[in-house]
Amino acid sequence: MKQHVMGVDFGSTTAKTVILDLNGNIVSHAVAHMGAVSGNGVKQSMKDALDAAGLTQADIGRTVSTGYGRRMLDEADKNYTEITCHARGAVAMVPGARLVIDIGGQDSKVISVDSNGLVSQFAMNDRCAAGTGKFLEVLARAMEIPLEDMGATALAAQEKLKISSMCATFAETEVISLLAEGHPKTDVLGAVHKAIASRTLGLVGRVGKKGPVVMTGGVANNPAAVHYIQEELQMPLILPDVPQIAGALGAALIGLDDYRAENRQLLISEAEDMAREEQMAADKACVPGCRGVPEFAVDPREKQPVPGKLKSLVGSLQKHF
């Protein structure tokens, strides 16, 4: 039996891989930024994770994929949606979480989860890339600022401006107008992040606000997004150490459940094996205390012949043979 399982999140802008041992411990993980639903990105993240664990694909007992490209991964034995996987991964990272906010490259979703990490309700952006990483990417380009610097810059906002359009293209026009009016980049970026937070609050409203709330996905690495969402929600957000890998972790955990269930008989320890044999022997015994040896006619506790009918039955059998 193989000793590891793999979860792969084939996302729209990044690929994430998590490898677990059979006890559910993370052995390695990798994130590759290779562009939209890139086959190369996925291969790279899988290779990085395997190399870091000192394993090859042949050592992996079960591979589960998720994300937009989940159906495109040849190595995957099964695939699940990113909603199911993010919920499972987020609850594994933050036990007790009841709401998961995941903002990824091209979609944002709010997932209400039960105590087992199973999805009870969900809502996702259904118009366009409104309120997603793509929205930030488009506006970063319009404002000529590196994507990774957006968050820190936005945190320095002083004046509260408003961007009313959630369409990335129309919002770009608004941003350019605000800059043309002389507003500093910090304030405009603050408004951009506030717009994402309002959109997220709308999704939260659709599934019901409750806590603790975990934020996953690439946008969780943006401090301004986290700040404004917390402000809108009026609740703290819990951020896992590596929020991007929640989906891949969830996929790996689902794969682990599956693999363990399929190989249940191979997974028992030596002590469990002994205990099971003893139990089976006890179950087979036709008299109390018998351990399945041919002394079935004698009660081993008393070393006395069994009285009554059983004794006569034994006697007649002995005569026969």
Partner 1 sequence: MERTQIIDSFAAAARDPLSYAKQWKARTGRPVIGSFPMNFPGELAHAAGALPMILQESDDPITVGHGLLFPFYCGYTRSMVDQAVRGDFDVLDAIMFGDHCVQLLGAADAIRMQLTNTRVIFFQLISSMCDPWTQGRSEESFAKLRAELEDFAGAKVQDEAMHASIRLFNKNRGLIRRLYDMRKKGIAPLGSVEMQHVVKSSMVMDKAEHTELLEKLVRIYDSAAPLPARNVRLHLSGHFCQAPKPELLEMIEQCGVTVVGDDLYHGFRYISTDVPEQGDPIAGLARWYMDRNTGVPCPTRVQNNVDWDAYLLNAMRDEKAEGMIVLMAKFCEPHMYYYPEVKEAFEKADMPHLLIETEHDGMALESLKTRVETFVEIVKHRQAA
- For partner 1, the binding residues (CB under 8 A) are 68, 80-84, 107, 116, 118-120, 122, 124, 126
Kindly state the smallest distance separating residue 117's Cβ from partner 1, in Å: 10
Kindly state the smallest distance separating residue 118's Cβ from partner 1, in Å: 5
Kindly state the smallest distance separating residue 100's Cβ from partner 1, in Å: 13
Both tokens of 161, joined, read 């401006």
Measured from the CB atom, the residue of 74 and 126 that comes closer to partner 1 is 126
Measured from the CB atom, the residue of 28 and 132 that comes closer to partner 1 is 132
Contact 187, 158 (CB under 8 A): yes
Measured from the CB atom, the residue of 83 and 157 that comes closer to partner 1 is 83
Alpha helices in the chain (DSSP H): 39-53, 82-93, 133-142, 150-154, 168-180, 185-207, 223-233, 246-262, 270-284, 309-320
What are the CA-CA distances from residue 1 to residues 5, 175, 264, 265, 267 (Å)?
Answer: 11, 57, 11, 11, 9
- Angle between the N-to-C axes of helices 223-233 and 185-207, in degrees from 0 to 180, rounded to the nearest 10: 50
| Chain position carrying tokens 């028992």 | 268
Contact 76, 248 (CB under 8 A): no
Measured from the CB atom, the residue of 107 and 187 that comes closer to partner 1 is 107
Measured from the CB atom, the residue of 81 and 244 that comes closer to partner 1 is 81
Measured from the CB atom, the residue of 50 and 251 that comes closer to partner 1 is 251
Kindly state the smallest distance separating residue 211's Cβ from partner 1, in Å: 21
Which residue from 98, 145, 149 is spatially nearest to 119, judged by alpha carbons?
98
Kindly state the smallest distance separating residue 162's Cβ from partner 1, in Å: 25
Q: Which DSSP category does 81 fall into? A: -
Kindly state the smallest distance separating residue 101's Cβ from partner 1, in Å: 16
Contact 68, 12 (CB under 8 A): yes
